Amino acid sequence: MARPTKEGLDYFPLDVDVFEDEKIEAIAGEFGLKGEIAVIKLLCAIYKKGYFILWNDLTQATLLKRLPGVSKEMLNQIVNRLVRWGFFDKQLFDSVEVLTSENIQATYFEATKRRKSPKPTKYVINANINTQDERVNDDINPQSKGNKSKLNKTKVSSSASSIDFHSENIAESYWLNQVNPAEAPMVLESIRFWVNDFQGQDEIVIMAIEEMLKNGAKNYNYLDRVLKNWENKQLDTVEKVRKYLQGHYSKSPRNANKTLEYEKFSTDELPI
């Protein structure tokens, strides 16, 4: 007898600063600890099923049983605020009462990319399909759409220094070439957002990818941590990043003979 295909996850990554997210802080400010726990329970329910849940009476009744002291009215208020603030996708919630988001889906597809079962398409948020609502419904395979995105055909070498950075989508192409040729669209979109955040400097994002690979990691969460670190340190030019990686900013005349160090993230800290 064939083994049934597993749909959900046994565990999922949770950022250590999740409760510092402004949306979660707003929930905590209004609903207290019950609101914070409700958010985590919602995420657990979603990842246990896969990457979405239907917000119907059965789901609500099940969650309420696991949330002592939380009324149905409070739970729906929490969900409605999370939808309004973009924690969950508003269009899917308003149209079919589905709770999901691009981040949830990116995490799910990253965690299940090694599974041999076909990639699901139901309620997938595909930002690379140029339709008005940018949604793929449950009966349409995104590969059948005539508007599917085209990856830039520029050849990407194994070294960032030899890439033509005036071409489009170079950082995305580099990721596809060096990390995962079948990456989820949401991850590629996030990489594109990072390029925009660095004023279109693909090379900075590619340097971060190289730094990630150098440390033995091959997942987007690691790349995101590196880029957030650089952004917080205001490393907004290629030269600043290069000097940072060379230890320039940690070197001082008093400690000139000491080993140069700069912050790195261990692969143990992040999920593969």
Asked if residue 160 has pLDDT above 50, the reply is no
CA distance 46 to 117: 19
In whole numbers, what is the pLDDT of the chain averaged over residues? 77
| pTM (2 d.p.) | 0.47
Tokens at 166, concatenated: 């005036």
pLDDT digits (tens, 9 = 90+) for 216-263: 998 888 999 999 999 999 999 999 999 999 886 554 445 444 443 444
Which pLDDT belongs to residue 55?
96
pLDDT average, residue stretch 21-38 = 92
Span(s) in the chain for CATH 1.10.10: 170-249
pLDDT average, residue stretch 117-141 = 57
CA distance 135 to 56: 21
Instruction: Specify whether the CB–CB gap between 205 and 173 falls below 8 A.
Output: no
Which pLDDT belongs to residue 185?
79
CA distance 188 to 175: 8
pLDDT digits (tens, 9 = 90+) for 77-98: 999 999 999 999 999 999 999 9
Residue with tokens 């220094």: 161
Considering 15-24, 65-74, 106-115, the range whose residues carry the highest mean pLDDT is 65-74
CATH number of 170-249: 1.10.10
Instruction: Specify whether the CB–CB gap between 212 and 223 falls below 8 A.
Output: yes
CA 3 to mean position of chain CA atoms: 30
Which pLDDT belongs to residue 42?
95
Asked if residue 152 has pLDDT above 60, the reply is no
In 3D space, the residue among 217, 232, 225 whose CA is nearest the CA of residue 267 turns out to be 217
